[in-house]
Amino acid sequence: MNLADYIRDIPDFPKPGILFKDITPLLASPQAFGHAVDQMAAHYESHAIDAIAAAEARGFLIAAPLALRLNKPLVPLRKPGKLPYRTYSLKYDLEYGSAELQMHIDSVTPGARVLLVDDLLATGGTMAAGAQLIQQAGANIAGFGFLVELAFLNGRERLPQAAVYSLLTY
Ligand SMILES: O=P(O)(O)OC[C@H]1O[C@H](OP(=O)(O)OP(=O)(O)O)[C@H](O)[C@@H]1O
Ligand SMILES: Nc1ncnc2[nH]cnc12
C-alpha cells in the first residue's frame, strides 16, 4: 500500500504560500490508517520506551492508536487552558504561526524514556517545544515519530539529539 496516495495537497492553506498536507483521506480509510499505525508500531516494538507524548490535535490521532498497540501510557500535550491540573507551558513558532503547548507536571516520571509522536514534522517548532516540556519534567527523549516529514523545512535540525523516524518524507 502506498500511504502517499492518502495524503492530499491543499495549496495556500491556512495561509498563502503554504502547501498543506491533509491527512483526512488517510483517516477515512481504515486500511490505510491501520497500515500506518501498524508500520509505526512495528518500528517501535523493540525500542525501550516508557511513554508516548503527542501534541494536540492531529498528533493525538496517530499517537492514541500507537500507544494502545504498544501498550504504553499516552501523555497529551495540549493547547493552553485545556488541561485541568498544574502544567508546564511553552510558547513556540510553527510553519504558519505561533502557538503554545502545556503538559501536566505529573504526566511523566522523572527518568522515563518518552517517545514524541506527531502527524507531521514541518519546522520542528512543535516537537522541539514538546521535547522541552518532557525534559522540564525530568524525563528523557526516546525519539521522535511522524507520519509525514517535510524534509525541505529542515525540522530535524531544531529537534534535540534523538532518533527521528518518519513513514513518509517529502
Ligand atoms: O513542525 P511544525 O512547524 O511545528 O509544524 C507541525 C505541527 O503543525 C501541525 O499542528 P497545528 O499546530 O497546525 O495544530 P493541529 O494539530 O491542531 O491542526 C501539525 O499537526 C504539527 O503538530
Ligand atoms: N504544510 C503543512 N501541512 C500540514 N500540517 C502542517 N503543519 C505545519 N505545516 C504543515
DSSP string for 47-61:
S--SEEEEETTHHHH
Give the chain's residues under pLDDT 70.
Answer: none
CATH fold of 46-169 reads Rossmann fold (3.40.50)
Is there a catalytic annotation at residue 95?
yes
pLDDT of residue 150: 98
Find the Cα–Cα–Cα–Cα dihedral 42, 63, 53, 8, rounded to 10°. 110
Is there a catalytic annotation at residue 149?
no
pLDDT of residue 109: 96
Residue 167 C-alpha to ligand 1 middle, in angstroms?
17
pLDDT in tens, 132-163: 999 999 999 999 999 999 999 999 999 999 99
Residue 20 C-alpha to ligand 2 middle, in angstroms?
5
Please state the atom number of ligand 1 nearest to the C-alpha of residue 92.
4
Residue 97 C-alpha to ligand 1 middle, in angstroms?
10
pLDDT in tens, 33-49: 999 999 999 999 999 99
Helix axes 58-70, 30-44, angle to 10 degrees: 60
Give the chain's mean pLDDT: 97
- Which ligand is located closest to the Cα atom of residue 11? 2
* Residues near ligand 1 (Cβ within 6 A): 55-59, 94-95, 99, 118-126, 155
Decide if the complex's ipTM is over 0.95: yes
